[in-house]
Amino acid sequence: MTAAASLARALAALAPLPPEAQLAEAARWLGGGASRALAGLSRGSELRPGAGEVDGALLEAICARALAGARGAIFTPDAEARILAAFGLAHAAAGRGGPPAAAGLAALLSGARDARLAAALDGLAVLDPACGGGALLAAAARLARLQGARLALHGIDVAPLAARTARARLALLDADAAIACADALRVPWPAAELVLANPPFLRHEAIPADDKAAAATASGLTRQADLSAHFAALALRRAPVAALVWPRALDVSRSSAPVLADARARGGFVLRLRSRAAGSFAASVDTALAVWAEGARDAAPAEAAVPLGALGDDELEAIARGGATPRVRRSRGAAEAPREAITVADVCEVRFGTKTGCNAFFHLAPLGGGRFASALAGEVALGDADVVPLLASLKEARAPEEAAPGKVLFRPARTSAASRAYVRLGEALGVQRRPTCAGRAPWWRLVPGRGPAPVLYPAKLGARAFAFLNEAGLWEDKKWHALFPGPAVPAWQLALVLSATPVRLAIDAGARQLTGAQAIADVDCRVLAAAPFPRPAALAGVARPLAALRGALARDPVTTALRAMLARPAQRELDLVVGRALGLSAAAVERERRALVARVEARLEHAAAIRQTLAG
């Protein structure tokens, strides 16, 4: 029986017990030795374990099953934990007089004793502020023990079950560990020379208000930062080396920009390693393994063609030396902006779409005769001036100038008897107490003083993405960004250029894939604003062909078949015309067309792999 099968057999045998009792029983088994544990797993049942081993990973598996992702907890598999711990320890040891990081990593992975490395590691303070079941701390302890060194391990976790699991797992290793059950964003962190962590992956919308306030106070970030950003900000300040499971959303999110600015002002990321086959592991977000070191320079990111757990030690050593292998390539960094480009922000204002705070109240389905259906309040009566047409879904925009909206937005032009009655109904249902609504005065007034945006651009990118020319005056949902062009570029030209591949590729490259299980990437306002855009004089020179292309594409339905969409003659010509206005050659435009297909298809493949992993 394989180790995986033995682990599954153990979990099945323990399943009838409550989680706390499962931990106690598993710890008793493991305390008596893995082989003896297996011998008694299924006594009195039809199951008969064969040869194999279970170890402390059993405790973490019990904990992970019981917590089921609560508060964003995604537990780190042992293979990835070993990689991140080895890189983190190697760089921390190098800063304490140990061998160069590449040599230290080779010794840690092979287990070959190195006296300098052992001396540098002995007593090294390692902290995991979101320790879960202790996988990262256990990996660090095992690697150091092979060198004859003992680490001073510290862990914090908000979940009592996780803290207990980590204590039990590290006790099996006879490690020097102090594990606290606490919220790491509300308590002081122990002094550490290496922070080793897999921060919780929780969107800011899912963080309770009081926890969000505490996190913002601790990190100095805004309340719009995701939970992992708050942890990352603190980790990079608390130790000279931080080894983190890094959500790639942090690289492009506006709320986490201060984290990167601070990191690069004081040091650099000596490792950024991800797999284009499966992310860093089976998390529902796109992640990388990252190591930051004080006073260092950024190393070129590395991307593996296989899951990270499948990389060999020789490949990891090559990465540490700054090299590549047939299965690991180094990124060449961001492509330079086209030579003739300005930015989208130079020709228009980019705003977030309308966030109501309670779509079930504000988004209404017309029933006819002045009647509307609210998901929260049921059927209500409103006047024509109380609502505006709403583009609530990306799919409702069928083509660049054609949409079929199915809902309206409660946004009264002036108060009326009907609108006041609906507001009172909302207050009776407590809508005004929701955090987003409570921040407005009055709570039901949405973006006062502005009208519909002339151009809309998706806030979420998939295989189907294009700018929408909003001549119908539809209001936008938060799934869209609202664009207000200046006098230099008419709205139709802005929308058309944003749908050209060279511009779309730049936006896609800056997008963040928040959920790996879906092939969708979020576009922050600043990413859209920073995208390349032709100078007005260059656009004036191609105004006539652009006008002809507008007519060809305006009502041509856009589908998710990206290759087919790019193969349309009018789309190919649009790409070439806009590319020429940006100063790109025809060959460069063709490369960007291929690059967009590769990015979108890779995201689709990644999402499929994550769904399969999570389902299995």
Q: Would the pLDDT of 16 be above 70?
A: yes
pLDDT exceeding 90 applies to what percent of the chain?
Answer: 65
> Could you write out the DSSP letters of every residue in 362-394?
HEEEEEETTEEEETTTEEEE--GGGEEEEE--G
Query: Could you give the CA distance from residue 44 to residue 59 in angstroms, rounded to a whole number?
Result: 23
Give the lowest-confidence range in 18-27, 186-195, 317-326, 552-561: 18-27
Closest CA to 90 of 79, 81, 99: 99
**Which superfamily is assigned to 75-330 in CATH?**
Vaccinia Virus protein VP39 (3.40.50.150)
Listed in order, strand segments (DSSP E) in 265-377 are 267-275, 287-294, 302-304, 328-330, 341-343, 348-352, 363-368, 371-374
* pLDDT value of residue 281: 64
State residue 613's pLDDT score.
Answer: 63
For the chain, how long is the longest CA-to-CA vector?
84
- CA distance from start to end of the chain: 19
Tens digit of each residue's pLDDT (9 = 90 or more) over 401-438: 999 999 999 999 889 999 999 999 999 999 999 988 98
pLDDT tens, position by position, 206-224: 888 888 999 999 999 998 8
**For the residues 333-352, what does the mean pLDDT come to?**
81
480: three-class secondary structure by DSSP: strand
Interval 42-57: pLDDT, tens: 332 222 233 334 567 7
Report phi then psi at 295, rounded to 5: 80, 0
- The conformational region for residue 111 under phi > 0 = left, psi -120 to 50 = alpha, else beta, is left
Mean pLDDT in residue range 571-581: 97
pLDDT at 72: 60
Nearest to 179 by CA among 140, 130, 144: 130
User: pLDDT tens across 489-541, in order?
Assistant: 999 999 999 999 999 999 998 887 655 566 788 888 888 999 999 999 999 99
CA distance 588 to 578: 12
Residue range(s) in the chain whose domain bears CATH number 3.40.50.150: 75-330
Percentage of residues of the chain with pLDDT beyond 70: 88
Identify the residue with better confidence: 138 or 77: 138
Of the candidates 26, 28, 236, 218, the one whose C-alpha atom is nearest the C-alpha of residue 133 is 26
Sorted by sequence, the CB contacts under 8 Å of residue 246 that are 6+ apart come out as: 232, 272, 287, 288, 289, 290
- Contacts of residue 201, Cβ cutoff 8 Å, sequence gap at least 6: 72, 74, 226, 227, 228, 247, 283, 284, 285, 287
User: Where is average pLDDT lowest: 85-89, 167-171, 440-444, 538-542?
Assistant: 167-171
* Tokens coding 108: 């840690």
Beta-strand relationship, 455-458 and 402-403: unpaired
- Indicate the residue type of 430: G
Residue with tokens 């010509």: 573
**Which CA distances in Å does 211 have to 127, 207, 229, 247?**
22, 6, 14, 20
Ranking 210-214, 249-253, 452-456, 594-598 by mean pLDDT, the lowest is: 249-253
* Average pLDDT of span 472-501: 96
**Closest to 349 measured CA to CA, from 458, 508, 455:** 455
